[in-house]
Amino acid sequence: MADKEREPRKKLVAKIACCASGDSLMEAIENALVDREHVVMVRVNAQILQQLDMLVDASICRSRSSAATFMIREGIKANAALFDKVAGATTQIAELRASLRDAVGEIDEDSA
């Protein structure tokens, strides 16, 4: 598709505010693509692939990779409460593990 054909779509899409972040769609995509330096390979089913391809075919995203990055970011933002709970739980788990290591270390030192 020629760049001239994409411009009207980009202008229309730029106005859509439907993202978990509250940003317009184009702002959310641009924000999702900032500082992408890590590679994660995932397998998806046919339905997810079709939806990623729709974003690419509609010239909303440039590639499947950028579409996936955008959707992952939006999914994380939409589930912020869950991630807050998980973060709290993992902090507690780390503290319990450290406490257990300290306790085991004390036992080893006593028996030495």
Task: Taking the CA atoms of 43, 47, 50 and 52 in sequence, report the sign of the dihedral they define.
Answer: negative
Confidence of residue 5 (pLDDT cuts 50, 70, 90): low
Domain chopping of the chain, boundaries: 1-78, 80-112
What distance in Å separates the CA atoms of residue 93 and residue 87, rounded to the nearest whole number? 10
Give Cα 55 distance to the centre of its chain: 16
For 76-107, the pLDDT digits (tens) are: 988 999 999 999 999 999 999 999 988 888 77
- Residue 55 CB-half CA count within 13 A: 19
Q: Compute the distance between CA of residue 29 and CA of residue 11 in angstroms, rounded to an integer.
A: 14
Two tokens, residue 81: 């409460």
State the DSSP code for 35. T
